[in-house]
Amino acid sequence: MESFRVALAVYTFLFFMNACSTPPKSAPMTTPKNLFVLMPDPDGKVGEIVVSNKEGSQILAKPRHATEVKDANAAPTAPFLLEESKIAEIFGAALAAQPDPPVRYLLYFKMGSTNLTEESERLLVGILETIKARKSTDISVVGHTDRVGSRQLNFGLGTDRAHRIKNVLVSKGVDSSTIEIDSHGEDSPLIKTEDEVPEPRNRRVEVTVR
């Protein structure tokens, strides 16, 4: 399993709202029949969506930009900025129902080993607290290495590092069945280097708590 279950659209939310076809007589319909709003992910990143029908299309590529489609015979309107208060009014329930975004940790290792650096050892407490607070049953642990050594050897080292972290979590009470491990070896560096170049930031395990 990839260490990041992310698609750009991954963390970019698209909200689609269908209002009642016949609004109550006591209140006029104040929102369009079809409203699309592009929202940033928790890190502030924004993807891009295309809203189209047989009459035309519009691209939404800026946070909180929206377009309306009034009916099947009307093209999407030009993008416009939707105020946060209006977004909360229309989509408050949908926003409240969104799951919390994943929490990710990077743990670094000493060269050629499964021994954590002292700073990373201290991060284990925070990981355990997050798992407990979220009552998480979906944890991924992915091992990585730098490019010192053969590709095959580094895949094995990445696996050993992932197992080491899983074993630590299990020893602290985390259910083993909730943890999935993987290794990318030297293939997914944070910092690209030439072969046989030691790079501490690539000697890591990525822990994702969902």
| Domain regions of the chain by residue span | 8-97, 103-209
On the question of pLDDT at 191 being above 90, the answer is yes
Is it the case that residue 24 has pLDDT exceeding 50?
no
C-alpha to C-alpha distance for 12 and 49, rounded to whole angstroms: 10
Pairing outcome for strands 13-18 and 204-209: unpaired
Q: Which CATH superfamily hosts domain 103-209?
A: OmpA-like domain (3.30.1330.60)
CB atoms within 10 A of CB 32: 18
In this model, does residue 70 exceed pLDDT 70?
Answer: yes
- Give me the pLDDT at residue 94, please: 85
Q: Please determine, for residue 3, whether its predicted confidence score (pLDDT) is greater than 50.
A: no
**Do residues 141 and 180 lie in contact, with contact meaning Cβ atoms separated by under 8 Å?**
yes
Q: Which whole number is the average pLDDT over 37-56?
A: 88
Kindly tell me if the per-residue pLDDT of 48 is higher than 50: yes
Helix (H, G, I), strand (E, B) or coil at 174: coil
Task: Identify the three-state secondary structure at position 189.
Answer: coil
90 Ramachandran zone, left/alpha/beta (phi>0; psi -120 to 50): alpha
Query: What's the pTM?
Result: 0.65
d(CA 96, CA 53): 30
125-177, pLDDT tens digit by residue? 999 999 999 999 999 999 999 999 999 999 999 999 999 999 999 999 999 99
